[in-house]
Structures are given as structure tokens and as C-alpha cells.
Structure 1
Amino acid sequence: MDMNIDYENAMVIGAATSVLATVGQNLRFRVIGGYLYRSTDTIHRYFFVVLNAILKLYPDLIHLPNLSTPPEIRNNQRYYSWFADCVGAIDGTYIRASIHLEIQGRFHGHKGFPTQNVLAAISFDLKFAYVLACWEGSAHDSRVLNDALSRPHGLRVKQDKYYLVDMGYGIRNGFIPPYHGFRYHLKEYDDNPPQNEKKLFNLRHSSLRTTIEQGFGVLKKRFRVLDNDPFGSIKLKWIWCSLAVSCTIIWLE
């Protein structure tokens, strides 16, 4: 038996386990170290090595959608007549973060605790097409979108295509919000069917855009680190940004 190979295999398994247990179960390094019979410092090193490796997969796994009409729209007449050129939905979600005290104020949004505002584009088959993390929880959605569009390798929208967004992102080329001043959420139409085209558009818009809410919901349920008490021992901003992005990558693998 080659002891070197066995040791290397054990190292790889331990490193992968440290990340999966952290993001999936929100386990602390000390607990993971107890399971693997490794020191907390060793688990800490494992974690960062694998986390960086996962982030390098972003350009291979996170892709902007192609130009064809998504089958979820093409095969559904309720949506096709309204959204034939729509390629997905965009929204932000709040993910908890452990931030140094001196900058915590910027990360306190309406949740009442430090969060980051993570913007994502999701296709209608629940695949992430773009992710931008690191913005503080107090940042307005339109500001985060402006940043995504201004980056050299940021969010791009093909000509004549668009994403569904809420009113917080405003009206601009490539992004279609609902009509302002009309009912929007599905439950608002339970006992009062839409009576004109704008109301019907908002109903269809809301129904189709629930995709992104489902995507965020599944992501947070699968990766408990995103929606539970954060690690008090990790207060580096980029770590929490990296965790948010890495979870979307692992989901697609």
C-alpha cells in the first residue's frame, strides 16, 4: 500500500468535507475538526484552499443565457405572447454576514442585522446565470445593478432581450419591471381577476418572476450557511462574498 497516496486522498477528502459541511450544514471548524480528527487550524487551511478552487470554476459554470426563447416561455401560451424575448429574472437577496464592527453600519439593512445584498440573474430552469456579491445590505437594488453593468466582465444583456425585474431596479433597456400603480403580487389577484391589459401583464410578470424567489429559496435551504447565524470568527468581507458565490457554483456542479 502506498501510504503517500492514502495520505493525499485523505487530505483531499478532508478539504472537500470542510467546505461542504460549512456551507451545507453551517458547521463550525471546531466541530468539523472533531469529525475528521484534525486541528481547527488544519480545517481552516483546508477550507480556504477548496473555497478558492471552487471560485475558479465560476467562468466555466455560471453563464449568461443564450438568445433562444426559454422552453418555459415558448411552451406556455400564458407567457409567450407577453415575454417571448425574456431570458430570465433578476433580483437581490439578503445573506447574513459577520463584518468588522467599524463597517457594520453599512451592512445593516431592513433585516436588523449585518447582511450583504447579493444580486443574481436566474434562468427559468433555476440555473444561476450571473451573481454579484459583496454589496452592503443597505445598498439600493438599482445601485447594485449599476455596478453589475459597469464591470468589465459583468452582467450583459443581448440586444432585443431582457430580464424581468421589480420596480426597485427602475425602467431601463434590457430590464422590464411591472407597471407602476397596479396590483402585482399573485395573492392580490386571488379574488379579483385582472380587468385590463396592464393588470394582466403584471399578473403574468409576477407569476413568471417567482422563478427567482424559488431559486433563492432552494439555495438557502440547501446551503444553510447563507441564512443562519454567521461565523463570529470569520469577519473578512471577501470571505462572505466568496461563500455566497461558491454556493451558486456548487449548486450547478
Structure 2
Amino acid sequence: MLDVVCRMAMDVIKPMDREFSDIPQAILRDSRYMPHFKHCIGAIDGVHVQASIPPQDQVPYIGRKGMPTQNVMAVCYLGPYKDERYHLSDFRRGSQPTGYKEVFNHVHSSLWSVVERTFGVWKKIRKILRDMPNYSFNMQVKIVICYNDTS
């Protein structure tokens, strides 16, 4: 069944607008995000999901918390400008954003926090992603794809 859902995911997980000509309504209707994101195609973000790997094979999979994980990549929004203030806390401690790059980064940071919370909720409601069973790693990868596809 996992193989079937994974093959189906190749048809389902793709942009609905292949020309990227439509502006998402959430951006179009929100003055904080419009016009900053009207031409955005996307960027990649990731989340680590626990992996069950035999002890002798764990080293390449050890994440920053010291346990084996697989990195799940997701397409989100355009990245921020480098070398400019970005995090909301940076703006709380200092002055309001100045210049178009800082204004964009400020808005981007608030939007990006939604993406991060979504990853947290996804892992919280999908218990299998927190405590991955001791299946083969190939099977674990398919489980992640299927649980992402059926959310």
C-alpha cells in the first residue's frame, strides 16, 4: 500500500499552477504580504523526523539532538535577504524595519513562523513520525511521504 500511495504522491505533490501565474489568495488579501510575495515561487525548508536505523549504520543519520533522523524537505516561500535583520525579535529590540529589504524580511519572518508551526503540528498529530517503528529505512521514507501526502 505504501508503494501505491508514494506513486500517487508523484501526481499529487506538484504545483497546481505550473506557470506560477496565480497569486495565492492568502497573499493577495493580506496587506502585510502583498506586494512582497506576489511573484514568489518558493523556497525549501525542512524538518527532521526520527528514524529507526540499526546501530552500526546510524552515524550518517545522527541529527543535532544526537538521534538518527531523516530530513524531510518541503517547498515553502522565497527566502529572506541575507545580511539584513530578519527575526521578529531583532525588530522588537531595535527600530522598525527600514528599506525594502528589511521590510520584506520582517514580513517574511512572520510568515515563516507559520511554516515552522505547521511542521510542529504535523509531527505532533502523526505519532508514527515521532516514534518511527523499526522498519527498513526505505519503508520509513515511504511512511513519511504517505503521511505528508494524506495530511
Among 79, 87, 98, the alignment partner of 2:52 is 98
Instruction: Kindly state the Cα deviation for residue 88 of structure 1 after the two structures are TM-superposed.
Output: 4.3
Provide the residue aligned with 1:249 in structure 2: 149
Provide the residue aligned with 1:18 in structure 2: none
Instruction: Kindly state the Cα deviation for residue 215 of structure 1 after the two structures are TM-superposed.
Output: 2.5
* Distance (Å, rounded) in 1 between the aligned partners of 2:102 and 2:53: 42
Residues 76-133 of structure 1 show CA distances to partners (whole Å, capped at 9, x for unaligned) of 22212211111445201101001122321000121210001111114xxxxxxxxxxx
Aligned 1:145-224 pairs, distance under 5 A: 163-164=77-78, 177-192=79-94, 193-224=96-127
Aligned 1:1-150 pairs, distance under 5 A: 50-66=1-17, 67=20, 68-122=22-76
Asked which structure has the greater CA Rg, the reply is 1
Tell me which amino acid in the other structure corresponds to 2:37. F
User: Post-superposition, which runs of at least 4 consecutive aligned residues in structure 1 deviate over 4 A?
Assistant: none
Unaligned runs of 5+ in 1: 1-49, 123-162, 165-176
Among 126, 136, 139, the alignment partner of 1:239 is 139
SS of 2:66's partner is coil
Tell me which amino acid in the other structure corresponds to 1:178. P
Which structure has the highest helix share of the two? 1
The answer to which structure, 1 or 2, has the higher relative contact order (CA under 8 A, 6+ apart) is 2
User: Could you tell me the TM-score, scaled by structure 2's length?
Assistant: 0.84
Instruction: Kindly state the Cα deviation for residue 216 of structure 1 after the two structures are TM-superposed.
Output: 1.1
Among 129, 147, 151, the alignment partner of 1:226 is 129
* Distance (Å, rounded) in 2 between the aligned partners of 1:248 and 1:56: 13
Number of residue equivalences: 147
Q: Which range moves more in the overlay, 202-211 or 53-62? A: 53-62
Tell me which amino acid in the other structure corresponds to 1:121. V
SS of 1:117's partner is strand
Identity of aligned residues (%): 34
* Distance (Å, rounded) in 2 between the aligned partners of 1:64 and 1:111: 33
SS of 1:83's partner is coil
Residues 157-204 of structure 1 show CA distances to partners (whole Å, capped at 9, x for unaligned) of xxxxxx42xxxxxxxxxxxx3222222122332243223332212111
Partners of 1:70 and 1:87 within 8 A in 2:
no
Partners of 1:89 and 1:212 within 8 A in 2:
no
SS of 2:23's partner is coil
* Distance (Å, rounded) in 2 between the aligned partners of 1:51 and 1:103: 24
The two structures, once aligned, show a CA RMSD in angstroms of: 1.9
Tell me which amino acid in the other structure corresponds to 1:98. S
Instruction: Kindly state the Cα deviation for residue 65 of structure 1 after the two structures are TM-superposed.
Output: 4.1
